[in-house]
Amino acid sequence: MEINGKTKVLGVMGCPIEHSISPVIHNNLAAELKDNLVYAPFKVDEGKVQDAVKGAFALGIQGLNVTVPHKSAVIPFLCDIDPLAKRIGAVNTLVYTNEGYKGYNTDMPGLLRAMKHDGAEVAGKDVIILGAGGVARAVAFLLADSKVNHIYVLNRTIEKAKAIEEEIKAYAGDIISAHELSEYSSLYGDGYVVIQATNVGMHPDVDRAVLEDEEFYKKVSFGYDLVYNPAETKFMKLCKASGAEAYNGLRMLLYQGVIAYELYTGKSVDDELSEKIYHKMAEAMGIK
């Protein structure tokens, strides 16, 4: 595309940032939709977030994605924040307004859209979250808004799982319970949707899963690993070996970007174009 005086600038800020796949998503969307915009990565060191937000606003940058380690640190410097992002306590998308940037979290809606694409319906289901870090906490809030039957948080240390349990109970009532990983055998029945929300199994440590007991996987009907590299994690392999469906987190990455683009431009991105961008992402990452 031709960059000219009317070209809008967007980008992603984080540290490190060189590995970001977001430019692939947004620049390809812009090309397909014939939008006069360009999207670039910006390395922002810790402690420089306020300067970065003020500078971006002064320059008229129309939107920014925010990645680690700034998703919470950026919040005090926004003029407004979407209710979901406020509950989660993490922002990954900034949209320009006349008063400043409004913050959104598109990670969790991206996860929900990805799961629906892959056929995982969580409404009315019992859902297990593996892990109790920041991502697991955000997933728990998403599920609390998604009419699930019950949420089980399984973590190596019960204290972190209990902290999520307390927050969700205060928000949504008695729809969640915390357990140590070793207590999975106390969960009765099968048909659980399981979301793997840790970085265990991520490249290059690809030969591990948070839980490796085959008995656990007999309880699983659908497994969703938020890790997307490798394309098939050990968690996914164990799910499939027990007869469950399993998917990685690449579509979550796709849809969080698609939703952010829709917020930036006011346009809708249809399923056909989303699929085209998905394949461009996989190609750029060397994932088959």
Distance of CA 206 to the CA centre of its chain: 20
Distance CA 155, CA 184 (A): 10
Q: Which two tokens stand for residue 82?
A: 């979407």
Q: Which two tokens stand for residue 256?
A: 């969080």
Q: Which two tokens stand for residue 158?
A: 């019960």
* H or E element, residue 43: strand 37-43
Specify the DSSP class assigned to residue 103. E
Residue 171, amino acid: Y
From the candidates 8, 34, 71, 237, which is the catalytic residue? 71
Dihedral sign for Cα atoms in the order 110, 74, 43, 95: positive
Mark whether 240 is an active-site residue.
Answer: no
Q: Does residue 111 contact residue 247 with C-beta atoms inside 8 Å?
A: no
Q: Which residues belong to the active site?
A: 71
